[in-house]
A = this chain, B = another copy of it.
């Protein structure tokens, strides 16, 4: 009864619509629909357009009684994890991934979510949504468990492009700040530029140039630029947003995940070592659950594509219901805040900056390629 009344209330108001690819993940459509069910149970202000095999989806959605919040879009094809992005661009028009992006392009949904092939998702998003005016390279931003009050820092780029020059890094700083404001409710985000040392003379040429560019734009953009940070600072409370190129960011992200995985394996092994440690494990169960909830990669599930006309969230390929639901929650937060429009405005205002510093603009074009 309560659900129905709140449903009516919010369908009268603007329900935030998420376009979701049900097919591309390792766990198949059942996990995606299970994630939808979790989110729908917690939040009556979300609606879904679900893309994929209609007969399969209808059955799953009916079973979970989600017909009222889900609209199904049938698609014959699926993008697999092995499909090459270029091939998907040529032959992928009937895939659930393509259809998912299309609903954002058409304005039917405010955010797209997919667990599919990252390269293909970025390629389709680029082609269909197009880059924001003034953006050279879009970026993927991830959340990183941190010592900050909110529990997370933002890092970008974590793999959209293996290169980034100083103007790209400046844009990443602006886009990351906008994401931190709208996704994490941080009013004046602190930005750090990832490097091998915090001294100003260290690092590659484009990092030194970006260091100046971001510092010069910080006041106008209402961000706090803390300068260079190191790998150890990524989870620190010194910063909210860590800016880096997609090669370095991807290596750092996977290294962090790999380290966390190794430690939790060793932790489990330590607890199984003796009868005493097994008893300890039993007693510390709730403490351990709290810890693992804090660093659970499923809870930080959702790389966000930034720099496009529309917001796209890439969920882990292996995401289960918890992971999908976390990605949906992020999609809802960003969709409701009008993130896409705010980000576009932010980038447009920063795009005027190179005019203030023509010598750096020249340097940038000289470095490209």
Cβ contact within 8 Å between A283 and B279: yes
Segment with Cβ contacts to B, from A122-130, A249-257, A306-314, A331-339 = A249-257
CB of A367 within 8 A of chain B? no
Q: Which residues of B contact A362 (CB under 8 A)?
A: none
A337 to B281: give the CA distance in the assembly, Å. 43
Other A-B pairs beyond A232-B257, A266-B295, 6, CB < 8 Å: A196-B251, A236-B258, A263-B295, A270-B287, A277-B283, A280-B287
Chain B nearest CB, measured from A3 CB (Å): 35
CB of A59 within 8 A of chain B? no
Which residues of A are interface residues toward B (Cβ below 8 A)? 145-147, 159, 162-163, 194, 196, 203-204, 230-236, 244, 246-248, 250-263, 265-267, 269-271, 273-274, 276-277, 279-284, 286-288, 290-291, 294-295
Residues A250 and B231 in contact in the complex (CB < 8 Å), given A196-B162, A280-B280: yes
A251 to B250: give the CA distance in the assembly, Å. 11
Chain B nearest CB, measured from A322 CB (Å): 19
Q: Which residue of B lies closest to A84 (CB)?
A: B201
Chain B nearest CB, measured from A270 CB (Å): 4
Chain B nearest CB, measured from A139 CB (Å): 14
Chain B nearest CB, measured from A154 CB (Å): 15
Residues A262 and B145 in contact in the complex (CB < 8 Å), given A251-B231, A255-B231: yes
Residues A287 and B263 in contact in the complex (CB < 8 Å), given A204-B247, A233-B258, A236-B258: no
Chain B nearest CB, measured from A118 CB (Å): 10
Q: Which residues of B contact A295 (CB under 8 A)?
A: 262-263, 266
Cβ contact within 8 Å between A252 and B231: yes
Chain B nearest CB, measured from A358 CB (Å): 26
Q: Which residues of B contact A283 (CB under 8 A)?
A: 276-277, 279-280, 283
Q: Which residue of B lies closest to A264 (CB)?
A: B263
Cβ contact within 8 Å between A277 and B270: no
Q: Which residues of B contact A286 (CB under 8 A)?
A: 274, 276-277
Cβ contact within 8 Å between A287 and B271: yes
Q: Which residues of B contact A265 (CB under 8 A)?
A: 147
A191 to B71: give the CA distance in the assembly, Å. 50
Chain B nearest CB, measured from A88 CB (Å): 15
Chain B nearest CB, measured from A9 CB (Å): 39
Chain B nearest CB, measured from A251 CB (Å): 5
A258 to B232: give the CA distance in the assembly, Å. 4
Q: Which residue of B lies closest to A246 (CB)?
A: B196
